[in-house]
Chains A and B, each alone.
Chain A
């Protein structure tokens, strides 16, 4: 019962992240999601051994406290407008999130996974969390929202691992978590520097750096 409540909460945070128009709110949702993900293994395995608890505490600290603080700090120092700036409108984003959820259920039913011990809900929700994260990365302009999307995607991967394996993943996740930490750290610094150099953190302006040839400059023959 408790598991299903947590999983449902995970799902709601997904939709909340997609629907929110304000960055600070978005960061808070992701933080909440990180806490839920951190609690998840302890509840599922139903045992209070040392290692899961240590990892749960570590996960909650990093995802629930450190990352949000870091992102909030870069939001402040980079002096970003507090809006999300979506490429896709909010209603459409919500619809997409729901569609992703439906697709995930279908995928979950098609996957022949080893006997799951945590109900039928976790795998589809983990799937939809991964895809929602990807959707956020694709559909939002700001670099900060991309970091958030990346975090949500990682949460999904973590949940997926929890759903399938018992002991081993915790160690693996520890490694992934470290990666994440470095990634967010680097991204935070990069965002800060991008905004300092270019006065904004819109990634789509970076396409000026692409190798596209303007159509008016064409190789012409020299005699």
Chain B
């Protein structure tokens, strides 16, 4: 336990020191990042030790302010969420040193590091908090510090607006959490987590209400549809290391909270599982479809986070259905798949955001339509981005494949069970995952080919150059981890023993059986990888041998024998995905403007494609308009006339006196 408190303290203190060094941006950056890396390394080693040795620690803390104790504790679930957290904090802070250099003259770098380290420290704290009030305090610090990071470039109007939307979304979410913890505290007579798990019979009557509030409250943070609306706004607005940290780790705290509460509130009802599964399926499909239609690379990644959170929710939903129907296979595969996807998504989404940030910073734009051909100029960024893109599309042998594979596998095992709900949800999981995976692959083909391949579509893409060493180091590190996780599953999966016991509450023997089954499967998969690798190596050597001594010519991409090829001859992002977006236009409801010409020598033809979030457009915007106009009707109260303000006071006093005396 001591290591974690030490690690949080180091991260926090270095943030404060960095803030004090505001005048020297270089030093502030160094101290802030050094503290984050040191603290994360200590915490990471300790978490891995906890996982490997299957330890659970609980420490009742001192009472603070009479409302809650600062109790801390660590178990398998906490340690499991801390691992990606510490990895991403370390990587994105190293990346951040370089990323922030162009901002030295115009921004306060010290305060960036203060909020960055505060965000990291508060996330770690909320994962090890063992008291409701303490948890909520850490949760609020996390929300607020990330708000200040999102609004880092607050000179842009869009950034300020994104910040407001983010703040509102967070406060709607935390309102439900307040209610939830208050209800739990009332039922158990204490806010201590240890009392929550002890008083499961007291919680049982209100468990469904708690489940609903947890799903909404944590769902806003995690980005479940329809509470996802802040993600596509906040992630593009935030600086890239921050969006990496937020998308990779911070939205997972919602998943952590949901799992924690699910452990407390006892045996699940069937409809809980079906609800979560349905939310997951909708989020997955919705997220990937909207990701396809985006032009802004970071907004695309944000929608893609919605998709992946959907996959995670599907896994948890299947797990709950399995627990309810006494099907340990479905439960364990569901939970294991979703937990593994939490870890994997943190790695590859962090990597992709860092890559996107490098591209955006080097070219000065996030609009994919005017990029192109930068693979030749930024090869390291390109290769790592390709690895991340392949991983997020769920392609073997990378890590995105293994977690989705577990969910597939569990669902395939259960389509012959005699329960209708299980069969339907398993079938939906298989088809849904396949659908999401295919569209994700299309989506990342678009990103990679439009941004990195072909030739430059604008001057800003022309001038791109490889980013600095520290930015590259962060991306390469995550890419290596993506590959390693993908191929070392037979070693990793046995470590899930304690974690699955905690989450599912099933017997040891069942978990052991599951783990050995999963392990054999992964060993088999690895053998296939080995065979494919050998075949490819042979083919490569053969090619080299055939080509030896012959002249190999290289030509510009899309040359096609034209005498004067132009960059405009290439596919654009919008035209590449146009068949898919046309097909799904009943969901996307995009405004499509085409300008065609019937001339033999057309002067100009164009295709313009605007898609706007349908929840934003049809629900949240009309709603906020309504609220706004309602509030504006009360605006006359606030007119700035001194006399009438005093009249308010006098009238209030008089009414009070008359009421009291009358």
A: residues with CB less than 8 A from B are: 87, 107, 110-111, 131, 134-135, 137-141, 146, 203-204, 206-213, 215, 219, 221-222
Decide: B643 and A137 in contact? CB cutoff 8 A.
yes
Judge whether B548 is part of the interface by a CB distance below 8 angstroms.
Answer: no
**Known contacts A215-B632, A222-B158; A210/B647 CB under 8 A:** no
Judge whether B161 is part of the interface by a CB distance below 8 angstroms.
Answer: yes
Residue among B161, B635, B643 making CB contact with A87, cutoff 8 Å: B643
Residue among A111, A206, A208 making CB contact with B642, cutoff 8 Å: A206
Q: Tell me the minimal C-beta distance from B647 to chain A in angstroms.
A: 4
Q: Can you list 26 A-B contacts with CB-CB less than 8 angstroms, sorted by A residue number?
A: A87-B643, A107-B657, A107-B661, A110-B662, A111-B661, A131-B654, A134-B646, A134-B650, A137-B643, A137-B646, A138-B643, A138-B644, A138-B647, A138-B650, A139-B643, A207-B639, A207-B642, A208-B640, A209-B640, A210-B639, A211-B640, A212-B638, A212-B639, A212-B640, A215-B632, A221-B161
Judge whether B641 is part of the interface by a CB distance below 8 angstroms.
Answer: yes
Decide: B643 and A203 in contact? CB cutoff 8 A.
yes
Which residues in A have their C-beta under 8 angstroms from that of B662?
A: 110
> Whose C-beta in chain A lies nearest to the C-beta of B660?
A110
Decide: B157 and A222 in contact? CB cutoff 8 A.
yes
Main secondary structure of the interface of B (DSSP, over half): helix
- The 5 A-B residue pairs whose C-beta atoms are closest, nearest first, are A210-B640, A207-B640, A110-B661, A138-B647, A134-B650
Decide: B646 and A140 in contact? CB cutoff 8 A.
no
* Interface bin, chain B: 20 to 34
In the assembly, what is the distance between CA of A171 and CA of B403, in Å? 81
Decide: A138 and B646 in contact? CB cutoff 8 A.
yes
B: residues with CB less than 8 A from A are: 157-158, 161, 632, 635, 638-644, 646-647, 650, 654, 657-658, 661-662
Main secondary structure of the interface of A (DSSP, over half): helix
Which residues in A have their C-beta under 8 angstroms from that of B646?
A: 134, 137-138
**Known contacts A107-B661, A138-B650; A204/B638 CB under 8 A:** no
**Known contacts A137-B643, A203-B643; A210/B638 CB under 8 A:** yes
In the assembly, what is the distance between CA of A54 and CA of B643, in Å? 36
Most buried by A among B642, B643, B654, B658: B643
Q: Tell me the minimal C-beta distance from B658 to chain A in angstroms.
A: 8
In the assembly, what is the distance between CA of A108 and CA of B209, in Å? 53
Which residues in A have their C-beta under 8 angstroms from that of B632?
A: 215
In the assembly, what is the distance between CA of A211 and CA of B638, in Å? 8
Residue among A131, A139, A222 making CB contact with B161, cutoff 8 Å: A222
Decide: A204 and B635 in contact? CB cutoff 8 A.
no
Residue among B638, B642, B657, B658 making CB contact with A203, cutoff 8 Å: B642
Which residues in A have their C-beta under 8 angstroms from that of B650?
A: 131, 134-135, 138
Which residues in B have their C-beta under 8 angstroms from that of A110?
A: 661-662
> Whose C-beta in chain A lies nearest to the C-beta of B648?
A138
Q: A211-B640, A221-B161 known; 17 other A-B pairs, CB under 8 Å?
A: A87-B643, A107-B661, A111-B661, A131-B650, A135-B650, A138-B643, A138-B646, A138-B647, A138-B650, A141-B643, A146-B642, A207-B639, A210-B639, A212-B635, A212-B638, A212-B639, A215-B632
Most buried by A among B158, B639, B642, B657: B642
Most buried by B among A134, A137, A138, A141: A138
> Whose C-beta in chain A lies nearest to the C-beta of B616?
A221
> Whose C-beta in chain B lies nearest to the C-beta of A208?
B640
Q: Tell me the minimal C-beta distance from B476 to chain A in angstroms.
A: 35
Q: Tell me the minimal C-beta distance from B170 to chain A in angstroms.
A: 19
In the assembly, what is the distance between CA of A206 and CA of B158, in Å? 33
In the assembly, what is the distance between CA of A206 and CA of B641, in Å? 7
Which residues in A have their C-beta under 8 angstroms from that of B640?
A: 206-212
Which residues in A have their C-beta under 8 angstroms from that of B157?
A: 222
> Whose C-beta in chain B lies nearest to the C-beta of A218?
B628
Decide: A219 and B161 in contact? CB cutoff 8 A.
yes
